[in-house]
Amino acid sequence: MPSTLEALTRWVDKVASLTQPAQIHWCDGSESEYRALVQQMLADGTLIELNQQSHPGCYLHRSNPGDVARVEHLTFVCHARREDAGPNNHWMDPAEAHAKMDALFDGCMEGRTLYVIPYCMGPIDSPLSRCGVEITDSPYVVANMRIMTRMGAAALKRIEREGTFVKGLHSTGELDPERRFIMHFPEERTIKSYGSGYGGNALLGKKCHALRIASHQARDEGWLAEHMLIVGIENPQGETHYIAAAFPSACGKTNLAMLIPPEGYRRDGWKVWTVGDDICWMRPGQDGRLYAINPEAGFFGVAPGTSDSTNPNALATVAHDTIFTNVAVTADNQPWWEGLPGQPVTDWRGRPYDPANGPAAHPNSRFTVSAKQCPTWSPKAEDAQGVPISAIVFGGRRPSLLPLVMEARDWSHGVLMGAAMGSETTAAATGAVGVLRRDSMAMKPFCGYHYGDYFAHWLSFDKAGAVLPKVFHVNWFRKDAEGRFLWPGFGENLRVLEWMIARVKGDAPGVDTAIGILPARDELNLDGLSLTPGQLDELLAVDSEGWQAELEAIGDYLQSFEPRLPTRLRREQQDIATSLEGRTAAASA
């Protein structure tokens, strides 16, 4: 099925000439092609069949033990000018990067099949979608890309019609950590990845295209490519408000995307709809509102911690037709990870399970599954025009200072909230505990250009005719003096989302403070919660002294993006600091 697009066939021929594969296969995305790939991988041991009675259509892949996660220190953004990459990225000169990668790719596919994967990020017929082609020598990548993207003949037709596509070249190489690099060339719309078979490094439609390349493309074309979930909240009146939310890792992103309302809310008729759990592309519509699509078609989720108590929707989603990577296995050949009932007999490396070897499932073990299998999947996820965004939410893991929820006064304040967000390290991470790591808009590993220019792009949406979403910041992780969480989290977070929607509709006055608008004590629905008045006060407390130090720290952080930091953002930070100082002085007078 070679393409009628000369630019594509010429590129495939050039890559084949460099990599020297035994054969070339153009992927059509069909069910029969997928089945043939699975059979081939079962035969050569790339996949292991799981219990087909309990988990029909499910398979296990065990990756090389030295290839189990994204490698940020080996990930480069290769702008022509170093300063365009910014301090938030590793940079390499494009000519040097191409030479380095092409030397690695030289002859690397001898004896292997070169797969050509045409894919579309987003619904095939959506003007918000963008296409790419990944060339790979990994059938595991092909199978995963079929789940994660709209892949095959329909995508190829769109590519041929439009004449443009992101080029992605990948080879597992020898899986040598010393010969492993992931290079991005934003101006060229090109990705080169060598030496890894792991999802984030090898499924080039995901973080590589949908965030690092797309964020740069979005700036050029006037839209936003963001590391955000998209969730729809339907109230008892049948109105659905869509919320886009950005959180650093370990902050409950997937749980919020698949949130299950508390019993009282379910009884009253509240519903939650999952549009996406990881990536969000937003563009202004003709009415001035932001409309969003989930560019992905599947979930590439972290398995450990996913359980019937934390996320039953995710557990139901992976019950069939799922590829598991680096999980453990039970005696009756079912996938297993920490958080599930039962006992593993084999760990993620295929060894008999021994607690002395560490967790049974790798902490970054994954599942790849079609989003349509999620019980809360929204059919609106396929709407070509996208869904209108009512609110944008930023959040981090902060044991103190940051209140449960606060609303930005305006768009500039909201961009500052996103720029300043971060999480404090816990004992689970290596290094010092309690160190604040800022992760602006949860995009630190994924923004394909200078953060200062990125903040300026965000600010550019505030113009005449724009009907922008309200912006909020949440902190589910505030603790009391004894170190206990003050807020129950999980499904109870719907109570906070309800307040946001009330603010969007103008139904909740809120309380204006120096740091933003907070809920009045009676504006959060706490029915059925065993929350004391003291806990609520602590969750919503504004520590003026602490905030003065925080704003100073935010100022220092923003300073690192000079001279490209937008003056407007610096002014916003200074205005809030001045307002806080004035209010503190007035209160103590």
Catalytic residues: 251
The 10 Å CB-count burial string (b at 16+, else e) for 464-497 is eeeebbbbbbbbbbbeeeeeeebbeebbbbbbbb
Q: What single-letter DSSP state applies at residue 198?
A: S
In the chain, % helix, strand, coil (3-state, to 5) comes to 35, 20, 45
Q: Whole-angstrom Cα distance, residue 312 to residue 315?
A: 5
Q: Whole-angstrom Cα distance, residue 415 to residue 574?
A: 14
Q: Whole-angstrom Cα distance, residue 442 to residue 276?
A: 16
Write the CA distances from 209 to 93, 112, 155, 373, 382, integer angstroms. Answer: 20, 25, 15, 24, 20
Within 13 Å of residue 446, how many CA atoms lie on the same side as its CB?
A: 29
Inter-residue contact 197 to 141 (CB < 8 Å): yes
Backbone angles phi, psi at 499, to 5 degrees: -65, -40
Inter-residue contact 436 to 501 (CB < 8 Å): no
What value does the CA radius of gyration of the chain take, rounded to a whole number of Å?
A: 24
- Residues ≥6 apart with Cβ < 8 Å to 74: 180, 181, 182
Q: Enter the tokens of residue 431.
A: 């290094």
Could you tell me where the DSSP H helices lie in 431-566?
451-459, 494-505, 533-539, 544-559
SS3 324: strand
Measured in Å, how far apart are the chain's first and last C-alpha atoms? 78
Q: Whole-angstrom Cα distance, residue 60 to residue 299?
A: 16
Inter-residue contact 183 to 170 (CB < 8 Å): no
In a 10 Å sphere around its CB, with 0-12 CB exposed, 13-18 middle and 19+ buried, how is residue 506 labelled? exposed
Q: Enter the tokens of residue 377.
A: 């999947």
Q: Whole-angstrom Cα distance, residue 420 to residue 364?
A: 27
